[in-house]
């Protein structure tokens, strides 16, 4: 909850939305079966994602958002 105090509007908004939604549509643990399927993982293929992120990062200006994941210079 400390997060809410941060001057980050985006985050605050996201949290507010999340909490609001929580109140109106409870998802009970036993109702989360579909959510637990592998295809529902936020990143179903993390190995490939890492490779793609490296390729994109070497060819595009926007950083991957994970500067401290290594990746080298990409100076080519």
The length of the chain in residues reads 76
Kindly state the smallest distance separating residue 7's Cβ from another protein, in Å: 12
* 7 touching another protein, by CB under 8 A: no
Q: How far apart are CA 12 and CA 2, in angstroms?
A: 11
Kindly state the smallest distance separating residue 10's Cβ from another protein, in Å: 5
Alpha helices in the chain (DSSP H): 9-24, 46-59
* 5 touching another protein, by CB under 8 A: no
List CB contacts of 53: < 8 A, sequence separation 6 or more: 64, 66
Which residues of this protein are in contact with another protein, per CB under 8 A? 3, 6, 8, 10-11, 14-15, 18-19, 21-22, 25, 27-52, 54-56, 59-73, 75-76
């Amino acid at each position: 909850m400390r997060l809410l105090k941060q001057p980050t509007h985006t985050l605050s908004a996201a949290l507010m939305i999340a909490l609001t939604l929580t109140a109106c549509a409870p998802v009970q643990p036993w109702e989360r079966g579909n959510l637990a399927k592998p295809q529902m993982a936020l990143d179903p293929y993390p190995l490939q994602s890492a490779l793609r992120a490296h390729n994109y990062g070497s060819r595009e200006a926007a950083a991957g958002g994970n500067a401290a994941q290594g990746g080298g210079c990409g100076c080519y």
